[in-house]
Amino acid sequence: MFAAKNQFLAAAKVLKTVTFGNGTTNWTTPADVNLIVSVSGKGENSYASTWTYELNGQSSLLFGMTDTGWTDYSSLYSHFTGRLSTINTGAPATRFIINVGTYFVFFNTATNTLWAQQNGSGVTAYGTATLNWTLPTSGAITTSINGTGATIGDISIPNYVTGTATTAFGQTFPGGTSGGAASLTTLTNIVVTPSTSYSIVNNSSDSTVVTVSYYSAYP
């Protein structure tokens, strides 16, 4: 009798589809579902922003700082105008720029020279960057350049932020890159555990839903 009932349930399985709108939704798989036939969705569109490449005055030497030998503001200013020129090479076209994380500096009175450390972050840039300078452009560097994490200058770089991905059942549906819209992605044959709650996080920029298809005998 039980065997006949199980065979009936197996035979009664039909293809079901459920959709999930923007935001986070918890969905429990039916008791007879251990495979998602297909799931489609897309992440957030890439969007324009501004990356700030900061010059940061430290109150003490950081690990990894090296002695630049600079004693005059003109050397530091020249370094940043040189970085600005490199960053704007190829502008206004989209391009990838490296070594534009925070630039840390500390004026070491033990050597009377400026010590520095470059954060190696990279960013996808477009357009033309601008230099915002708050320090003198010449003259002897003094301890007044030091501070407790104080930003004392920066280069503002127009950039594109990669859109946040949508996630479901341990899978990722990418966001857009380089200013572009995210594309719909469809994945198939995803193994799941019956009667288990899964979090579907839909980060699409529009009303695109996450669509899940599976076979089940349950309503």
Query: What pLDDT is attached to residue 1?
Result: 47
Query: What pLDDT is attached to residue 65?
Result: 97
DSSP track, 183-201: PPEEEEEEE--TT-EEEEE
The pTM of the full predicted model, rounded to 2 decimals, is: 0.74
**Is residue 42 within 8 Å of 217, Cβ to Cβ?**
no
**Is residue 38 within 8 Å of 167, Cβ to Cβ?**
no
**Is residue 158 within 8 Å of 44, Cβ to Cβ?**
no
Q: Locate 170 and state its tokens.
A: 């341990």
Query: What pLDDT is attached to residue 12?
Result: 86
Query: What pLDDT is attached to residue 219?
Result: 80
Query: What pLDDT is attached to residue 178?
Result: 87
Q: What is the DSSP letter of 9?
A: H
Rounded CA separation 49/111 (Å): 40
Query: What pLDDT is attached to residue 10?
Result: 53
- Tens of pLDDT, residues 77-93: 999 999 999 999 999 99
Rounded CA separation 133/154 (Å): 7
Q: What is the mean pLDDT of each run of 10 residues along the chain (219 residues)?
A: 51 92 98 98 97 97 96 98 97 94 97 96 95 96 93 96 96 94 98 98 96 95
